[in-house]
A and B are shown apart, each in its own frame.
Chain A
Amino acid sequence: DSGVTQTPKHLITATGQRVTLRCSPRSGDLSVYWYQQSLDQGLQFLIQYYNGEERAKGNILERFSAQQFPDLHSELNLSSLELGDSALYFCASSSRPGAEAFFGQGTRLTVV
């Protein structure tokens, strides 16, 4: 158990819909990362937060947004969903940016 909790574990939704993925980092970790993993693209960095503020952005689509709340949990919002958004979405946390990252078990999103 990494100490990082992601909910839900599975999500099936229709194209055009909006979903919210939730992440609770390890106790004490201030940094949260979101990654998307698909078979052809591997683990793609989306966005990083540190203590509530956005710190780094990767290949995150404009239809996607995220935030980190004062209690340090984070949410990833995916809107106007397309079939190609189907993937595993991982959240990871670390004590500080660039340090060892601990991953949650992921949310498997299926867009039909």
Chain B
Amino acid sequence: GAVVSQHPSWVICKSGTSVKIECRSLDFQATTMFWYRQFPKQSLMLMATSNEGSKATYEQGVEKDKFLINHASLTLSTLTVTSAHPEDSSFYICSARHPGTGGAEAFFGQGTRLTVV
């Protein structure tokens, strides 16, 4: 089946530094990918929609200058958490909807556990 791979699976960084998370669709092309964050025991919160070749669309309340999204190719989207602070510590998950199912079925990466110390 279709696979979305996310890397790294976990990262620890110092406050003030930036962290890049990669999301790849391994066997299909994704013009659109989605980034979520999830706090412990809570649901996934959609952060932004990543569009290949154009600017990402951010959800209300999400700082676009803090969470930089780049979708440089049809199989890769990256999320960079800039100047990370402890409150950015969270579980970040990407997904892409497979065009073969009419764009209905979404496949998710394994998630990235970010800890800012």
Question: Do the two chains belong together in a single complex?
Answer: no
